[in-house]
Amino acid sequence: MRAARACDVPYDGSVNVPSAAGASADPPAGRVRGSRLALLAAIAAAVAALDQATKAGVRAWLDEGERWPAGFDLIRITHVENSGAAFGILEGAGGILLLASTVAAVLLIAYLWVSPRDEPLSALALTLVLGGTVGNLIDRAFRGTVTDFIDPTHYPAFNIADSAIVVGVAALVVLNLTGIGSAPRYAGRDRGTAERP
């Protein structure tokens, strides 16, 4: 009788399989973070590589102090060896600037490593600053001076690395002032508070 009662429940032919509905469709956080960091590293490397390539071309093409075109005064390509900071600031302070650039690059890498994923524009701006910093750091470490060549009239000569740093810093200022690209981190908390009786 007990065996018969155990079989009283009809079998509908279904097989119990653990549902995958509750499983997250998103990729693992570690994979997303690794891909993001790889992209930022590639951008920084591209900025530094472009900077180094243009400087090498100028050094091979023009002697120091030589400019091209000779009769055009609005903006020229002039081979300048700068022992100071960007745009000729702190001339002669190469050793201090080498140390400062190294510290800045390490701090930027550390911040990008832990920076939030919901602020991609800020991360991109910092990556431009990092790429420019590394570009000039390579010059200071291996040559003792930084090669500048973009020479507007009535303005100090600069290079691709300087441009990347300025654009990155300007973008950070705009993003911080306007809040563009920042996720509303407390939106859920405020909504939950408002719904309380």
Exposed, middle or buried: residue 160 (CB in 10 Å: 0-12, 13-18, 19+)? buried
Phi and psi at residue 166, to the nearest 5°: -65, -45
The secondary structure element, H or E, covering residue 40 is: helix 29-61
152: which strand partners? 75
Per the CB < 8 A criterion, the answer to whether 137 and 98 are in contact is yes
Is 148 one of the annotated active-site residues of the chain?
Answer: yes
Annotated catalytic residue within 51, 118, 162, 190: 162
CB-CB neighbours of 70 under 10 Å: 8
All residues at 6 or more sequence positions from 125 whose CB lies less than 8 Å from its CB, including other chains: 167, 168, 169, 171, 172, 175
Per the CB < 8 A criterion, the answer to whether 121 and 110 are in contact is no
Q: In what order do the strands lie in the sheet with 75-82?
A: 67-68, 75-82, 146-152
Annotated catalytic residue within 12, 26, 63, 148: 148
Rounded to the nearest 10 degrees, the angle between the axes of helix 29-61 and helix 94-114 is 150
Residues taking part in catalysis: 148, 162
